[in-house]
Amino acid sequence: MIVFPTTLEEAQASKGTIRAGGTELAERRRLPGLGGDLVDLRDTAGLDELRFAADGTLRIGAGHRIANVGSNAEIRAVYPGFAEAVGGLATPQIRAVATMAGNLLQRTRCWYFRAPETGDRCFKRGGNMCSARAGDHLYHACFDLGSCVSVHPSSIGMAMLAYDGLVDVAPGGLRSVSDLLGDGTNASADNALKPGELVTALVLPPPQAGEHSAYFRAISRARSEWPLVEVLVRLVVVDGVIRDAAIAMGGVAPVPLRASVSEAKLLGKAPDAAAFAAAAQAATVGSAPLPMTGYKLELVVGSVLEALERAAERDPVVLPAPVNKLPRTSQETR
């Protein structure tokens, strides 16, 4: 069965797996036993808003295509780090159809999870073990949080975390992205959304005056590769002193993480090489690499440093203009 609800209410009332762009689901549904009914959001109204509220808060409809968000000029001016993370993930042909919520709610790319041969042993497929832990985990976590050692796939989730972003869920309303993605200890899930719940929008609080941001992804090729490590940095620099800092990291744990020790180290410092080096080193505090992922710690340090340097080199971000100034982007691919 497949249904194409036209309203949010109808969508919520329909039983089955929600499908947005389908770019993640399509592949997963080819695995044995992962089919079932579909609720396709193709015709569902109310998922494509894009506007700044009076206080500068940005609301991005859940169904917005990733490409449109990454290339949006206003978003790039106000949230450059976010726009870079969004605009650089996957490939152009995927971003053109994949949605913001679909990205947040995609499931892990762990190669054991995705292998038909793994069967249902894997935690995330309803089993009771993690094949990667004792197996080949070259691209897995370096912050071992206990059970499953896969890394969370969502670059947008990682970016939202750096912005203390929120998601609007129907029913239930706003909740923080860290609530949505959980703390990484629930080995059987990649997020805490329950059946019947629907994400309707992603919400970013306004940036601060004097904010600089940058995104960096460590990969082995030039482009189009899942990150080994990815980092988004926000620095608020006032009168030459760092007043606030947020550093989020992806590719390191079953959930995106904040490097809070690094953040604390930066406060009150001048944005210089010494402060950045110390902060980058501190990003591995709390890490617990697996036998094959020790190298990722070095990538964490390098990527945080890289993102800090890039952020500092830039002009501060543009503060959002008040109320609805942002035009709705032409929905080329919707």
Partner 1 sequence: MKSTRRGFLRGTVVGATALSTTSCSESLHTEKSTAPQGPPAGEDRVRVDTAVNGQDTTLEVGPDDSALHAVREQLDLTGCKHGCGHGACGACTMQLDGTPVATCLLPATSLHGRKVTTVEGIATGGTLASVQRAFMAEDGLQCGYCTPGFIVESEAFVRRWRAEHGAKEPDRETVAEALSGHLCRCAAYEGIYRAVQGACAGRFDHGPAKAERHDAREKVTGAAKYTVDVKLPGMLHARALHSPHGHAAIKSIDWTAALAIPGVRGIVDLMQGRTSIRHAGQEIVALAAVDETIAAQAVAAVKIEYDVKTPALSIPEARAEGAPAVYPRRKGRKSAPNASEGPLLPEAWDGNVRGPLKFLSKSKGKAVRKLDDARDSGTAVEGTWTTAAQCHTTLEPHAAVAHWPTEDSLVVHLSTQAVRACAEDLAERFGLRHDAVTVLSNYIGAGFGGKGKLESEAIIATELARVCGAPVRYVLERREELMIGGYRPGTQLDLAAAVDDDGELAVVAKSYSNSGVAVGHTVTPLWRMLYPGAPKRLEDIDVVTHTPPGKPFRGPGGPQAYWALEQAVDELAHARGEDPLAMRHRWDPNPARQPLYKWAEGIDAWRNRAKPGADKGRFRRGVGLAFGTWFVFCSPKTRVQVETGPDGIVVSTACQDIGNGTRTVLANAVAEQLGVAASDVTVKVGDSRFVPGPTSAGSRTVSSLVPACVVACDALKEELFDDAKDRLSLRGAVATTRGVEHEGGIVPWSKLAETSPPLSVVGRRPKDKGGYFLPPVGGVAFEKYTSASMQIVEIEVDTRLGKTRAVQTWGGFGVGKLVSPQLARSQAAGGILQAISYTLYEERRLAPGRGYLLTAGLEDYRLMGMGDVPQMHIHFHEEGYENIPQRSAGLGEIVTLAPPAAIGNAMFNAVGWRPKDLPLRPDHVLKGIRG
Ligand X SMILES: Cc1cc2nc3c(=O)[nH]c(=O)nc-3n(C[C@H](O)[C@H](O)[C@H](O)COP(=O)(O)OP(=O)(O)OC[C@H]3O[C@@H](n4cnc5c(N)ncnc54)[C@H](O)[C@@H]3O)c2cc1C
- 333 contact choice in partner 1, ligand X, none (CB below 5 to 8 Å, kind-dependent): partner 1
Tokens of 141: 């976590």
Give helix then strand counts, H and E, for the chain: 13, 12
- 96 contact choice in ligand X, partner 1, none (CB below 5 to 8 Å, kind-dependent): partner 1
- 297 contact choice in ligand X, partner 1, none (CB below 5 to 8 Å, kind-dependent): none
- Find the shortest distance in angstroms from Cβ 210 to ligand X: 29
Please report the DSSP string for 69-115 in residue order: HHT-HHHHHH-HHHHHHHHTSS-HHHHTT-BHHHHHHPPP--TTTT-
Of 100-108, 120-128, 207-215, 323-331, the window that binds ligand X (rule: CB under 6 A) is 100-108
Q: Which residue is nearest to ligand X (CB)?
A: 102
- Cβ-based nearer residue to ligand X, 6 or 208: 6
DSSP, collapsed to helix, strand or coil, labels residue 176 as strand
- Cβ-based nearer residue to ligand X, 31 or 267: 31
Of 153-161, 272-280, 301-309, 316-324, the window that binds ligand X (rule: CB under 6 A) is 153-161
Distance of alpha carbon 183 from alpha carbon 137, whole angstroms: 20
- 295 contact choice in ligand X, partner 1, none (CB below 5 to 8 Å, kind-dependent): partner 1
How many whole angstroms from its chain centre is CA 92? 17
- Terminal Cα-to-Cα distance of the chain (whole angstroms): 23
Residue 111 as a binder of ligand X (CB under 6 A): the answer is no
Q: Binding residues for ligand X, how many (CB under 6 A)?
A: 30
Phi, psi torsion values for 218, nearest 5 degrees: -90, 120
Q: What is the CA radius of gyration of the chain?
A: 19
- Figure out which of the listed residues 38, 50, 62, 187 binds ligand X, where binding follows CB under 6 A: 62
Beta pairing partners, 117: none
- Figure out which of the listed residues 38, 149, 180, 198 binds ligand X, where binding follows CB under 6 A: 198
Residue 138 as a binder of partner 1 (CB under 8 A): the answer is yes
Contact letters (x/-) for partner 1, 151-180, by CB under 8 A? ------------------------------
What letter represents residue 214's amino acid?
Answer: A
